[in-house]
Structure 1
Amino acid sequence: MSSRTALAAFRARIPELNGWLFASLFAFLPGHVAPVYALSGLLLLLGLAEGRFAEKWVQLKADPLFWIFQAFFWITPLSLLWTEDMTSGWRMVGRYGFFLISPLYLSVARRELAPRCIAFFLAGCLFTELLAYYNWLQLTAFPEWPRGIRVQKEATETGPFVDHILYAPILAWAGYLALHESLVGSVARRVGFALLAALTVGNLIFSTGRTGQLTFLVLVGLLVVQRFSRHPLRAAVAAVGLVAGLAVFGYHTSAPIAAQVDETLTELQQRDRVPDTATALRLAYLTNTLRLAAEHPLAGVGAGDFDAEYARLNARYTPTWLTTNNPHNQYLFTVTTTGIAGGLILLLTYLPPILWRRRGDALARPRVALAVFIAVISLFEDYLWRSNTSLLFVLFGTLLLGQRSLGPLDGRRQGGPNRAE
């Protein structure tokens, strides 16, 4: 075989190699994301070796998600034009870097890779969950065991690689996907995914992540509505009843959940007298950030000036309260730093055109669930500002919300797995 023939054969294999590389990225979402940078670099090198640049550009520019993700990234460096603290500004720009490199993922992602990517993600979650269960047992029942791999942030943390702020929402998304996969296929497949879902829910309960726990309940309700979509009213009633029942059951049967709920209610009642609790601080952050948004409604304060501007308002209205470098709300964070334009782009990022019309293909359910997931968790934290959850949304976004995630078959007409029962 000549060298030219061998090179042509290698190039022909690159799409399949990149498909496996792309899927492998999903396994790192519940852990350290540093390997993703190296693997993304390898994706880029293979893509350059493959060529077909004109064809790839035609594909990218026809995909609305390409333009939306780029707009969301570039609005942040644009805001540096009216920012004073350039060092903080460029640091914030770097936090949205996964949106900048999303074309690399869009050039590889396609609907055929979805089962593989979901499997890699759930496998990565299973690995971290086993480590978390060990940590939980070591903390609660077997203190003589060697200390496991776990983060150092709080004494109650059981997540092996990231704290509960990031870990619990990832578990919520994994729990939804496992439940979704347990609805189709052979009995063995259904049982396997159901067991994985149960294991994930157990980890979520003792993770102490309230955002993840609440989001999972929302996703369970959504899955019920999706499963019985032919009877929307009955599905909605069943979803509300199931979610309420699960919440009450969890409160009365799980000591960690009961303690968290009671603590939140107590902090809420005592927020004026005890201002340094998590709940009271969150409310103060939201209130002062709303004031900041009202002062700078059009363009925001710029990517680098949130810290200084918030500290100024905090000193004026709540001088005895702690200041913050973020409002713990992605919507307010985007609006206060990049203005109305940034807020509209954020909404478009969460609700791209592929979601504007009801789709019946095999990825319709997780596609909608991804939008619900990111919309809910963004109420409680700047999750696109944080590496793991930002990467999660970009990867699953390119997989589920890109134009190539739509297939020629309509699941409702063809009897696909999304057909309502």
Structure 2
Amino acid sequence: MNLFNANETKAQFILSLLPITLFFPIGIGYTGIVLFFVALLAGGQYRDKWQAIKDSPMFFPVMGLLTVTCCAGLLLERPDGFWKAFMHYQIYLVLLVFISVGAGYWQQRALRVFFAGAVLASTLLYLNAFQLLPDWSLFQNYRMYAGNKSILIGILLGIAGGWMLNQICANHGHKWLRISMWLYVAVALLFLAKTRTGSLIFVFGCALVLLRYLTFSWRSVLLVIGTVIILGVAWQTATGFRERLVGTVSDIKAFVDGGKVSADGIRLEMYRITTDIIKEHPVVGSGVGTWAIKYPERAQGLMSAEMATPHNDYLLYAAEIGAIGVCALLWIWLTQLFVAIKIGGENGMRLFTIGIAIMFGGLVNAILRDALFGIAFMILLAIPLAGISRHNYKSHFGDLDR
């Protein structure tokens, strides 16, 4: 891996290293982002950067959501905490800033750095399983379940697993090394990481990759059989993952029948109450930042009364900026999938799998409302999206060394 390419900017170089910071405490990642912004401003060439942003196929969808939230801020209720909630809606502006650096070798390095981070994170999970992980604050999210950061680590491993399989199926060199890395990450995720979301994203991502490359050949058949065997073994032996999925199904059934759900099932309770809020103003919503005011009033005495979000971006957008806001969100997300299909190849597959991961993650977590998740996805989205123009859907990512 080249540490620095003479033709790349300092901002590109820093951006290429950010993926590995996502596996560690949030302060490390934010420090890297600050350094990126400093390098970006110091690098000049602002007209070129602005042109790269305007030419991106993501520009108009992101501006659409910005317009909707600005109108909501001007015309609807503005409670305490409005500006904080408003800024969360603008997370995709960060993506536009990231892709302003353009295409370059940095994308290839960023992909390798991301894979290195996934292998390192898997190693930490293995060490913790054998009680060999030092009791340092740097590793606290690996030693015990610590909320969203632990969930994020699982999601990152799930995305990395899909992207690794994408390279294996594309018949890159060093195949056995790549397969070993994929297995190493997959086992750590399915057996040791404490997250359903990451495991499901891994399954979805791998399934999409296999469908993309499936052919009538022994190689494809063996690859599919091997993947199915791994997932089958994981289902039989990874009791934590299986029990949480079975528990989720049981909670859904109990909720539909009017019974009592478990602590893990309070999302269903949140969804029901949030749906009642949506019914008040289904088209335009109640206003940015209003969910945090309205929900506790309706959830007094319930386990979910202190929640900061409904753990579902679709419902949050519908409650605060209505059906119009949900359409603006879907415009962004569907554009990602459309661009992925137009790009094609390995880079298109990377974009498609992470696009599906975001859309699925938005069903069960505050993927955009929580900056911890949002910033991570923007960094990873920048890898396949940088250099793509809506006037010419040609990927400038280049082939990785085979």
Pairwise TM-score range, normalised by the shorter structure:
0.7 to 0.9
Q: Which moved more, 1:44-53 or 1:376-385?
A: 44-53
Secondary structure of 1:217 counterpart: helix
Q: Which amino acid aligns with 1:133?
A: Y
Change (3 A) 1:410 1:212: closer
Instruction: Give the structure 1 partner of residue 24 of structure 2.
Output: 31
- Partner deviation per Cα, 1:114-163 (whole Å, 9 max, x = no partner): 3211111122222222222222222xxx7xx7535577689852x7x964
What does 1:22-421 correspond to in 2, within 5 Å? Answer: 22-73=15-66, 75-76=68-69, 78-82=71-75, 84=77, 86-96=79-89, 98-110=91-103, 112-138=105-131, 147=135, 149=137, 156-157=144-145, 163-184=149-170, 187=173, 189-205=174-190, 206-228=192-214, 247-271=231-255, 272-279=258-265, 281-314=266-299, 320=302, 322-323=304-305, 324-352=307-335, 355=338, 358-404=342-388, 406-407=393-394
Pick 1 or 2: higher relative contact order, CA cutoff 8 A, min separation 6: 2
Contact between 1:25 and 1:39, CA under 8 Å: does it hold in 2?
Answer: yes
Q: For the Cα contact (< 8 Å) 1:135–1:150, is it kept in 2?
A: no
Tell me the distance in 2 between the aligned counterparts of 1:154 and 1:115.
28
Residues 1:185 and 1:116: Cα distance change in structure 2 (over 3 Å): farther
1:54 offset after TM fit, Å?
A: 2.7
The 1:293/1:402 distance shift into structure 2, 3 A limit, reads: farther
Structure 1: gaps spanning 5 or more residues: 1-11
**Contact 2:11 / 2:37 at 8 angstroms: preserved in 1?**
no
Q: Is the 8 A contact 1:27 1:120 kept in 2?
A: yes
Q: 1:385 aligns to what SS in structure 2?
A: coil
Go from structure 1 to structure 2 and tell me whether the alpha carbon gap of 1:38 and 1:410 turns closer, same or farther (over 3 Å shift). closer
Deviations 1:358-377 (A, max 9, x none): 43344121121121111111
1:179 is aligned with what amino acid? L
Alignment check: 8 A CA contact 2:14 2:32 kept:
yes
* 2:13 equivalent in structure 1: 20
C-alpha displacement at 1:265, in angstroms?
4.2
Q: Shift of residue 191 of structure 1? A: 2.1
SS at 2:81 equivalent: helix
> TM-score under structure 2 normalisation?
0.81
Superposed displacement of residue 300, structure 1? 1.1
RMSD: 3.5
Identity in percent: 19
Give the aligned length: 384
Q: Which amino acid aligns with 1:387?
A: A
Give the 3 Å change call, closer, same or farther, for CA 211–147 of structure 1 in structure 2.
same
> Greater CA deviation, 288-297 or 95-104?
95-104
> Could you tell me how far apart the structure 1 residues matched to 2:397 and 2:16 are?
24
Distance in 2 of aligned mates of 1:207 and 1:308 = 34
Corresponding residue SS for 2:388: helix
| Inter-partner Cα distance in structure 2 for 1:39 and 1:256 | 34
* AA of the residue aligned to 1:359: I
Deviations 1:378-410 (A, max 9, x none): 111111122332123212323323553753789
Over alpha carbons, which structure has the higher Rg? 1
Q: Tell me, what secondary structure is at the counterpart of 1:325?
A: coil
**1:224, CA displacement in angstroms?**
0.6
Contact 2:284 2:324 in 1 (8 A): yes
